[in-house]
Structure 1
Amino acid sequence: MRGVTAQVYETGRRLALGASATSVHWIKGLCFFALGDGTVHVFDDAGALQMKREVHSGPILCAAPHPIAGALLTGGDDGFLCETESDGTLSVVEEFGGKWINHLVSNSASGIFAAALGKSVSVFRKDSQKVVHTFTYPSTVGGLALDAKGRRLAASHYNGITMRYVLMPDDKGQTLNWSGSHLAITLSPDADYVISAMQENALHGWRLPEKIDLRMDGYPAKTRSFSWDKRGRWLATSGANSAIVWPFVGKLGPQGKPPMQPGEREALVTAVAFHPNEEVLAIGYADGAALAVRLNDQMGVELDEPGEGPVTALAWSADGKQIAIGDEAGRGAIISLSS
Structure 2
Amino acid sequence: MSAMEAEVSPLFALLARHWRLGGVEASAFDASGMSVGFALGDGTLALASMGDEENANVRWRVSIENGRATVSTRSRPVPPPAIVPIDVAPIRLAPFGDAGFLVGGASGRLVTVAPDGAVRSLVDMDSGPVEAICATSRQVAFVAAGGLVARYGAGDATARAIARYEEPLRAMAPSPDARHIALGFDGRIAVEPAEDDGAARLGFDLAASRVLAWSPDGRILAAGLDHGGIALIELETRRVLRLPDYPAPVRSLDWSADSRLLATAGAFRAIVWSFDAGDGKPKTIETGRVGFVAITVVRLHPNRPLLALGYENGVIVIARIGARDELVVRDPSPGAVGGLDWSPDGEHLAFHASQGGAGASQGSAGVLDLPSHMFK
Fold agreement, TM-score > 0.5: yes
Task: Tell me the CA shift for residue 219 of structure 1.
Answer: 1.4
- Which whole-Å deviations, capped at 9, do the CAs of 1:139-175 have from their partners, x for residues lacking one? 333211123333332222344333344233x756431
Partner of 2:345 in structure 1?
Answer: 319
- Aligned equivalents of 2:336 and 2:20: distance in 1? 15
For residues 208 and 77 of structure 1, do their structure 2 counterparts lie closer, same or farther at Cα, with a shift above 3 Å needed? same
CA contact (8 A) 1:148 1:190 kept: yes
Distance 1:118 1:202 in 2: 30
* Equivalent residue number for residue 82 of structure 2: 51
Find the residue that maps to 2:328 and give its secondary structure.
strand
1:307 is paired with a residue whose SS is coil
Q: What per-residue deviation string (whole Å, max 9, x for no partner) do you get for residues 98-156 of structure 1?
A: 522221111226x2211123643122223442421231246333211123333332222
- Find the partner of 1:85 among 114, 122, 129: 114
The answer for the alignment partner of 1:214 in structure 2 is: 241
Select the residue among 2, 5, 29 that pairs with 1:25: 29
Residue 36 of structure 1 is matched in structure 2 by 41
Does structure 2 conserve the Cα–Cα contact (< 8 Å) formed by 1:103 and 1:115?
Answer: yes
1:155 aligns with 2:183: yes
What is the 5 A alignment of 1:171-250?
Answer: 173-250=200-277
Pairwise CA RMSD: 2.4
| Deviation, structure 1 residue 286 | 1.0
Is structure 2 residue 360 aligned with structure 1 residue 330? no
Asked whether the 8 Å contact 2:151–2:160 carries over to 1, the reply is yes
| Alpha-carbon distance, 1:179 to partner | 4.0
Whole-angstrom distance in 1 between the partners of 2:204 and 2:308: 32
Mapped partners of 2:345, 2:82: distance in 1: 23
Secondary structure of 1:135's match? strand
Distance 2:166 2:231 in 1: 19
CA contact (8 A) 1:11 1:336 kept: yes
Measured in 2, the distance between the counterparts of 1:263 and 1:35 equals 32
SS at match of 1:7: helix
Counterparts of 2:155 and 2:36 in 1: how far apart (Å)? 25
Distance 1:270 1:58 in 2: 23
Partners of 2:125 and 2:232 in 1: how far apart?
32
1:50 Cα deviation from its structure 2 partner? 5.1
Task: Give the equivalent residue in structure 2 for 1:121.
Answer: 149
Matches within 5 A, 1:253-268: 253-255=280-282, 257-258=283-284, 260-268=286-294
Cα pair distance change 1:182/1:20, threshold 3 Å:
closer
> Are the counterparts in 2 of residues 263 and 283 from structure 1 also a CA contact under 8 Å?
no
Structure with a larger share of its residues in strand = 1
Secondary structure at 2:223 match in 1: strand
Query: What is the deviation of 1:48?
Result: 3.6
Quick one: which of 64, 67, 73 aligns to 2:94?
Answer: 64
Of 91-100 and 76-85, deviating more is 91-100
CA distance in 1, matches of 2:192, 2:14: 46
TM-score w.r.t. structure 2 length? Answer: 0.80
- What is the alpha-carbon distance in structure 1 between the residues aligned to residue 278 and residue 169 of structure 2? 28
Secondary structure of the equivalent of 2:12? Answer: helix
What displacement does 1:187 show? 0.4
Contact 1:142–1:182 (CA under 8 A) maintained in structure 2: yes
Q: Is the 8 A contact 2:148 2:161 kept in 1?
A: no
SS at match of 1:209: coil
- Unmatched 5+ residue regions in structure 1? none
2:86/2:105 contact within 8 Å kept: no
Q: Contact (CA 8 Å) 1:162, 1:173: kept in 2 or not?
A: no
Question: Is 1:286 aligned to residue 302 of structure 2?
Answer: no
User: Post-superposition shift, 1:176?
Assistant: 3.8
* TM-score, scaled to structure 1: 0.88
1:9 is the counterpart of 2:13 = yes
CA offsets per residue over residues 200-231 of structure 1, 9 Å max, x none? 24211212312222101111221111111222
How far does residue 6 in structure 1 lie from its aligned partner after superposition?
5.2
